[in-house]
Chains A and B, each alone.
Chain A
Amino acid sequence: MENRNIELDIKVPNHTKYLSLVGRIGEDIAKEIDRYLGDRESLAYQLNLVLTEAMTNAIKYAAQENSDEIVHILIHVGEHEVQIKIYDCGQGFDINDIPAPDFEKLEDRGRGIFLIKSLMDSVQYVKRKEGNVLEMVKKLH
């Protein structure tokens, strides 16, 4: 059987000007997955968004004084799912401590993790000695 897995290993400088580059990669992946029967435009937007949000977090939580830091992203497109891992070497955070936004209060911030959790099938943030990783999975059904 033909192997249709795709593995991308991306390293980009720790700067928001690269958000659009990384987001576009997410969109292009969605367009490549011809076996996906759902709304591919929505999938493209969703992968763009979660990559943008996760990379913004990695930049924010990484050691900002080190402007030569990189953001490391691994994307695996398997037969049934897309897995995205974004590494950061900052202090990290507990994803379960981040509350859902209060829709009655108009806050400027605090919607990023909510959007990621809403659009992905599983999300976890693992703290490790060598760095933290935000792992997200989108099922392709």
Chain B
Amino acid sequence: MNLSIEQIQDTTVININEERLDAHNSSDLKLEVQRLYESGKKNLLIDMKDVRFIDSSGLGALVSGFKNATSNQGTLKLSSLQPQVKSMFELTRLHRVFEIFASAADAVKS
């Protein structure tokens, strides 16, 4: 899976450079998030501006990351959700779980 990671102030930003987050690649994201928390990172932001499709496996990988954040006393925020992707969060009520921001810059400032 094509991910790029950058540090902006105290936030570690994971950019998903893929159009799809599905059962084929979501475990890569899950493992990367886990690795970052285990390496001592606390505040993660997943920016999804390139992601135009997410399935239940992709949502599951994000939920797994959220639980990882909680157990590591960290945070996991999301940014730049495309409208159809956002509708999947609403359908599964996950928009009430995650802090979702319009852009990575907004999330970092928060």
Contact = CB atoms under 8 A, between A and B. Distances in A.
A56 B23 CA distance: 7
A16 B56 contact: no
A114 interface: yes
Contact of A53 (B55, B61, B66, B91): B55
A119 B63 CA distance: 21
Interface stretch (A44-52, A61-69, A76-84): A44-52
Interface string B44-73: 000000000101110111011011000000
Interface in A72-96: none
Contacts of A108: 60-61, 63-64, 67
Nearest to A51: B55
A139 B86 CA distance: 23
Nearest to A18: B24
B22 A41 contact: no
A106 B22 contact: no
Contacts of B36: none
B58 to A, nearest CB: 10
A35 to B, nearest CB: 22
A23 B92 contact: no
- Most chain A CB neighbours (cut-off 10 Å) among B22, B93, B97: B22
B55 A56 contact: yes
Contacts of B103: none
A20 B63 contact: no
Contacts of A107: 60, 63
B88 interface: yes
B34 to A, nearest CB: 12
B56 A53 contact: yes
Contacts of B20: 19-20, 23
Nearest to A109: B60
Contact of A52 (B23, B87, B91): B23
Interface of A: 16-17, 19-20, 23, 41-42, 45, 48-49, 52-53, 56, 59, 101, 103, 106-112, 114-115, 118
Closest 8 pairs between A and B when the two form their complex, measured CB to CB: A16-B24, A111-B56, A112-B56, A108-B60, A56-B23, A103-B93, A45-B84, A108-B64
